[in-house]
Amino acid sequence: MGLVFNTAARIQAQTLDETYAFANSLFESNNYAFALKTYERVLFFDKSAQYQSDCYYQLGECNLVLGNYQNAENYYDLAYHNVSDDSLKNEIIFRKVISLLLLQRYNDGLIELFQLGNNLNKEQLQRKQFYLGIAYFGKEQFDKSFDIFKTLVENDSTALTELDILQNKSQKIEKINPKTARILSMIIPGAGQMYAGDFKSGLNSMALTGGIAVFMLVVAINYSFFDAFLSVSPWFTRYYMGGYEGAEKIAIQKKKEKQTEVYQNVLQVIKRSQAR
C-alpha cells in the first residue's frame, strides 16, 4: 500500500518528461504493472503526441509480460501505425506475432509474418523462420513446420538428426485415430483407451464393463432376461457408451499431449544448436 501511495505521489509531482523517464525506470526494474499505469498517464497528458509511439510500444510490452495478450496486440497495432521506420515496423510485427501465437491465433500470426518487409537481416530472417515453424506446428501442419525448423539448424548435423527423429515420432502420433479408438472400444470395452496409450483407463473400462456384463448374466440366469434387462442394462449401457466415447476423447487428448512433448523437444534442439 505504501509503495502504491509513494508511486502515485511521485507521479503527481512530475513533468511529462519526468513521468516518461519514471515509466521507463519502472519497466527496466520489471515493475510492469506500475509501468503500464505510468505509460497510460503519459499518453493521457501528451497532447503533442511526443511520446505516443514509444508509449504504445511499451504498453504492448507491459501487457505481453503480464499475460494480457489481446491488449498487447492492440497496442502493437497502434505503435505500428505511428512509426515510419521500416526496421521498427518489423520489430513491432515480431512482437505482435508473439502475442498472436500465445493467443493461438496461428493464421493471424502467419499473415503478419508474410507482411514483413524484404530488408530483414540474418537474425530477423531466423526469427521469421522460427515463428513460422511455431505457427505451422500450432496449425497441426507438422511436416511443414519441421521443414522450416530444419532451416534453422541446417549446418548442425546432430540437430538435424534429432529433428528427423522427432519428426518421425510426430508422424506416428498423427496416425492415432480417435475414431478408431471409439470403434475399438465399441467392439472390446477398453481397447480404444489402450490403443491411445492409456492402459490404466483401458483396463478400468474393461473390468468395469465386463463386471457389469457378468452381473447381468447372473441375474438373467437366476431370475429372467427381463429382470436382468430392467435392473442392470441401464448401468451397462451407461458405462459401455461412456467407455467408447471416453476412448475417443482420450485419443484426442493423448495426441495433443504427445505432440506438445515433441514441440518442447524441438525447441530444446534448436536452442542447443544455436548455443553451439
d(CA 21, CA 276): 38
pLDDT at position 202: 73
pLDDT at position 5: 42
Pick left, alpha or beta for residue 190 (phi over 0 → left; psi -120 to 50 → alpha; otherwise beta).
left
Cell numbers for 233? 442394462
d(CA 113, CA 102): 15
Break the chain into its structural domains and give their ranges: 2-141, 178-275
The answer to whether residues 156 and 276 touch, using CB atoms and an 8 Å cutoff, is yes
pLDDT at position 4: 46
pLDDT digits (tens, 9 = 90+) for 109-156: 999 999 886 678 899 999 999 999 999 999 999 999 999 999 999 999
Contacts of 269 (CB under 8 A, 6+ apart): 153, 159, 162, 163, 166
From residue 133, alpha-carbon distances to 46, 194, 232, 263, 271 in Å are 40, 32, 53, 10, 14
User: What percent of the chain stands above pLDDT 90?
Assistant: 59
Kindly give the parts of the chain with pLDDT less than 50: 1-5, 7-13
pLDDT at position 160: 96
Q: Domain spanning 2-141 has what CATH number?
A: 1.25.40.10
pLDDT digits (tens, 9 = 90+) for 253-274: 999 999 999 999 999 999 999 8
Eight-state DSSP code of residue 84: -
Cell numbers for 35? 509501468
87-90: Cβ within 8 A, 24+ apart: 87/119, 89/117, 90/116, 90/117, 90/119, 90/120, 90/124
Cell numbers for 5? 501511495
